C-alpha cells in the first residue's frame, strides 16, 4: 500500500457529492485516466447513496469510507454503515431489485458499481449494517519517450 485515507461522514444527502469528490481527489495520486476517475466517482456515489437512502432510511447515521492506493496502480474503496443491513444480499444485487415501496429508486446501484469497478463484495448483517468493498486496477501509465 502506498497511501490510505479514512473518512467518517454523517448520512446527509449532501455528503454523497462530497464523498465522491474527496475519494476522486485522493485517487488522483495514481494519475488515473479521466474515464477511470469517472468510474470510481460513479461507484462511490452509488454505494454512499445506498447507505444514505436504504441503510439509515429516516435517521442519520455514520458512513465510513476507507480508500487504499497500491503500488500496482490499484485502488480499494470500502464503504461501511451501521444501518438496517440487507436481509438478502444476493437478491439485492440483482438488477432492478429495490426495497423502495414508492418506486423512486431504480434498483440498479450494485449493478452500476459492478459495471464500473473490477470487483465488488457486499457483506451485510440485518440490524448491524453493510460493508461494500470495490476494487479497480488502473491502466498502466504511458511510457515517456
**What is the CATH number assigned to the segment(s) 3-137?**
3.30.565.10
Of 53 and 128, the one with more pLDDT: 128
First to last CA, the chain: 28
Q: What percent of the chain has pLDDT over 70?
A: 90
The answer to whether the CB of 23 falls within 8 A of the CB of 41 is: yes
Whether the pLDDT of residue 102 is over 70: the answer is: no
d(CA 46, CA 134): 11
User: So what's the pLDDT on residue 141?
Assistant: 86
Q: Which residue has the cell 454505494?
A: 47
User: So what's the pLDDT on residue 103?
Assistant: 58
> At a CB cut-off of 8 Å and minimum separation 6, what does 72 contact?
137
- Band (47; pLDDT cuts 50, 70, 90): very high
- Among this protein's residues, is 135 annotated catalytic? no
- Among this protein's residues, is 16 annotated catalytic? no
- Band (106; pLDDT cuts 50, 70, 90): low
Beta bridge partners of 75: 69, 136
- Return the exposure string of 32-55: e unless at least 16 CB atoms fall within 10 Å of the residue's CB, then b: beeebbebbbbbbbbbbbbbbbbb
- Point out the catalytic residue in the list 105, 114, 131, 135: 105
Longest dimension (CA), the chain: 57
- Band (108; pLDDT cuts 50, 70, 90): low
- Among this protein's residues, is 105 annotated catalytic? yes
Amino acid at each position: 500500500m502506498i497511501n490510505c485515507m479514512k473518512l467518517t461522514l454523517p448520512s446527509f444527502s449532501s455528503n454523497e457529492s462530497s464523498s465522491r469528490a474527496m475519494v476522486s481527489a485522493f485517487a488522483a495520486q495514481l494519475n488515473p485516466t479521466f474515464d477511470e476517475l469517472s468510474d470510481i466517482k460513479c461507484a462511490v456515489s452509488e454505494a454512499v447513496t445506498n447507505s444514505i437512502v436504504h441503510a439509515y432510511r429516516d435517521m442519520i447515521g455514520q458512513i465510513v469510507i476507507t480508500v487504499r492506493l497500491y503500488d500496482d496502480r490499484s485502488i480499494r474503496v470500502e464503504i461501511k454503515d451501521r444501518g438496517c443491513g440487507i436481509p438478502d444480499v444476493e437478491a439485492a444485487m440483482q438488477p432492478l431489485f429495490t426495497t423502495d415501496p414508492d418506486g423512486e429508486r431504480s434498483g440498479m446501484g450494485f449493478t452500476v458499481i459492478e459495471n464500473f469497478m473490477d470487483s465488488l463484495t457486499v457483506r451485510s448483517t440485518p440490524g448491524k449494517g453493510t460493508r461494500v468493498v470495490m476494487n479497480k486496477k488502473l491502466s498502466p501509465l504511458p511510457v515517456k519517450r
